[in-house]
């Protein structure tokens, strides 16, 4: 919480305070503890990977944008459900001329689509009266009420356009969720890589800064000894060149740290959607050696094969195309719709109305509609296209499965190689530190030179920088392993 409060406040750049030259009779340091593998860090200044994850998953604009994909898919389902909404319609037409009531037509219909069989339930009320009303449409003065059904017994019985649209929309919710997870995973992978790039730049700058401090102490002691004739003056020149060279490196690395910090700050946003900047005094966490075991690799491989976002999206697309193919196959059938309506006089609820005007089998309307294209070229073409799309997507999923499995295996092999290299590098650094300490001891006995000490120390710094590079590369590869498995190396959301 302290760190997050610091992030919310304006960040002020802090220039590194390099050691100033002092006069005295300081002896050259025999122990170079500043170049140890583990250095104490002020925990209040540490910006950890988990801190980054909490900010990214909560406030990052692309993460918020990814969440809209699920909302968009749900809106598509809601839109598809509109095909089953009841519809109420009415129309009124009247003509009166020269004192003659030509026609007075009033029609009303309530249509309720039903899921099974593509059936439409209809309730109607019609009143068509007048001198010149078509006799087949004429109704009693009180009008006619009707209740009936329209049933497709050919095309549209098993599946129709509205059922196909709704089923496909529901399936695309799975695809949208897979897209959402994939986008968030991509954001986190880039954020994790930028974090470890910042870590590496920060560690380089720290090591060189410590190297400057060591070289400066050695230069001060050597210069003082040269002044009193205890050491050759050329040795102080050699020591000063090392200080100057490391100062140049420190200045360059300070710029790299600032740039790496700015790149990482691209992923930091406040709850209000305002960009945040990582403070100059913030320090990265020290990575814990967390070796990915064979069991963890197998778990990730199984996870990738079962629920990788890319495979889930392709699986949803195959299901969607399967429904489309089924619908296109249904269109090869002839259109044959049967409708039947029971009718009654409009005021059937009155007791004085004769019974033969009530609803009954004797009072009805029936109809049959039939249509069939003779060649079916359009329908056969659309069906063929749908089948080709299914085959293409299945082949794409097959290739994606192989690619994902290969990527997971490749990154795991890379991690194992990094693990071995880190072990060897730690041993190399320890041996180089022993060489440096031995050289310093020899120098105190007059059996070595400043040149050899600087060479040993520079080599130690170089090996330590390489060690930090391997650590950063290991952590980035670890993030990639989880990404290729379709998940994240740090939990979020």
Q: Is the pTM of the predicted complex or chain greater than 0.85?
A: no
Euclidean distance between CA atoms 341 and 359, whole angstroms = 10
Q: Is residue 463 part of a domain?
A: yes
pLDDT for 125 equals 92
Question: CA 324 → CA 70, 197, 327, distances in Å?
Answer: 22, 47, 5
**Count of the separate structural domains present in the chain:** 1
Euclidean distance between CA atoms 294 and 416, whole angstroms = 10
Give strand ranges (E) for 45-193: 46-47, 87-97, 100-113, 120-129, 144-152
Residue 369 DSSP SS3: strand
pLDDT for 4 equals 43
What phi, psi does 64 have (nearest 5°)? -65, -40
Give the count of alpha carbons within 13 A of 180, CB side only: 18
- Is 444 buried (19+), middle (13-18) or exposed (0-12) by CB count in 10 A? exposed
pLDDT for 469 equals 96
Give the count of alpha carbons within 13 A of 485, CB side only: 22
The partner residues of 101 in beta bridges, in order of sequence, read 96
Q: Is residue 374 part of a domain?
A: no
Q: Is residue 479 part of a domain?
A: yes
Query: Residue 68 is encoded by which pair of tokens?
Result: 């809209």
pLDDT for 18 equals 31
Q: Which domain holds residue 271?
A: 2-46+174-319+392-484
pLDDT for 351 equals 57
pLDDT for 491 equals 65
The partner residues of 483 in beta bridges, in order of sequence, read none
Q: Is residue 111 part of a domain?
A: no
Positive or negative torsion for Cα 448, 451, 455, 458: positive
CATH of the domain at 189: 1.20.1600.10
| CB 211 within 8 Å of CB 457 | yes
Euclidean distance between CA atoms 48 and 314, whole angstroms = 36
Q: Is residue 233 part of a domain?
A: yes
- Is 78 buried (19+), middle (13-18) or exposed (0-12) by CB count in 10 A? exposed
**How confident is the prediction along the chain (493 residues), in pLDDT tens digits per residue?**
334 444 444 333 333 333 333 333 334 343 444 566 556 666 788 999 999 999 999 999 999 999 899 999 999 999 999 999 999 999 999 999 988 999 999 999 999 999 888 899 999 999 999 889 988 888 888 888 899 999 999 898 899 999 999 999 999 999 999 999 999 999 999 999 999 999 999 999 999 999 999 888 888 888 887 788 777 788 788 888 989 999 999 999 999 999 999 999 999 999 998 999 999 999 999 888 788 899 999 999 999 999 999 999 999 999 999 999 999 999 999 999 999 988 887 555 555 555 555 666 778 889 999 999 899 999 999 999 999 999 999 999 999 999 999 999 999 999 999 999 999 999 999 999 999 999 888 877 878 788 888 889 999 999 999 999 999 999 999 999 999 999 988 765 5
């Amino acid at each position: 919480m302290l760190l997050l409060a610091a992030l919310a406040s304006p960040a002020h750049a802090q220039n590194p305070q390099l050691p100033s030259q002092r006069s005295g009779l300081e002896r050259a340091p025999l122990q170079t503890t500043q170049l140890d593998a583990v250095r104490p860090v002020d925990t209040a200044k540490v910006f950890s990977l988990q801190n980054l994850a909490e900010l990214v998953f909560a406030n990052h604009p692309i993460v918020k944008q990814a969440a809209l994909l699920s909302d968009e898919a749900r809106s598509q389902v809601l839109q598809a459900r509109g095909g089953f909404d009841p519809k109420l319609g009415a129309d009124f037409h009247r003509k009166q001329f020269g004192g003659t009531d030509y026609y007075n037509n009033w029609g009303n219909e309530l249509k309720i689509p039903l899921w099974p069989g593509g059936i439409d339930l209809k309730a109607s009320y019609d009143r068509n009266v007048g001198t010149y009303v078509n006799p087949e449409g004429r109704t009693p003065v009180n009008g006619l009420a009707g209740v009936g059904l329209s049933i497709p017994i050919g095309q549209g019985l098993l599946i129709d356009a509205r059922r196909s649209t709704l089923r496909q929309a529901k399936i695309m919710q799975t695809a949208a969720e897979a897209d959402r997870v994939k986008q968030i995973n991509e954001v986190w992978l880039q954020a994790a890589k930028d974090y470890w790039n910042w870590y590496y730049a920060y560690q380089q700058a720290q090591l060189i800064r410590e190297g400057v401090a060591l070289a400066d102490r050695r230069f001060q002691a050597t210069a003082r000894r040269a002044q009193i004739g205890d050491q050759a003056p050329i040795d102080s020149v050699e020591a000063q060149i090392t200080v100057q060279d490391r100062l140049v490196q420190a200045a360059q690395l300070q710029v790299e740290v600032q740039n790496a910090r700015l790149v990482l700050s691209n992923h930091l946003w406040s709850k209000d959607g305002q960009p945040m900047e990582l403070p100059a005094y913030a320090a990265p966490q020290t990575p814990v050696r967390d070796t990915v075991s064979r069991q963890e690799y197998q778990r990730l491989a199984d996870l990738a094969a079962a629920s990788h976002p890319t495979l889930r999206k392709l699986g949803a697309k195959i299901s969607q195309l399967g429904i489309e193919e089924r619908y296109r196959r249904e269109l090869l059938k002839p259109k044959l719709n049967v409708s039947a309506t029971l009718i009654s006089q409009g005021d059937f609820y009155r007791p004085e109305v004769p019974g033969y005007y009530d609803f009954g089998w004797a009072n009805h309307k029936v109809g049959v509609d039939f249509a069939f294209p003779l060649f079916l070229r359009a329908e056969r073409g659309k069906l063929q296209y749908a089948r080709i799309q299914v085959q293409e997507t299945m082949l794409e999923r097959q290739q994606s499965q192989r690619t994902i499995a290969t990527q997971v295996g490749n990154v795991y092999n890379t991690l194992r190689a990094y693990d071995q290299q880190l072990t060897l590098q730690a041993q190399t650094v320890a041996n180089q530190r022993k060489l440096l300490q031995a050289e310093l001891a020899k120098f105190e006995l007059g059996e070595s030179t400043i040149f050899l000490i600087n060479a040993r120390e520079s080599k130690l710094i170089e090996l330590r920088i390489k060690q930090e590079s391997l650590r950063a590369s290991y952590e980035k590869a670890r993030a990639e392993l989880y990404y290729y498995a379709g998940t994240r190396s740090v939990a979020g959301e």
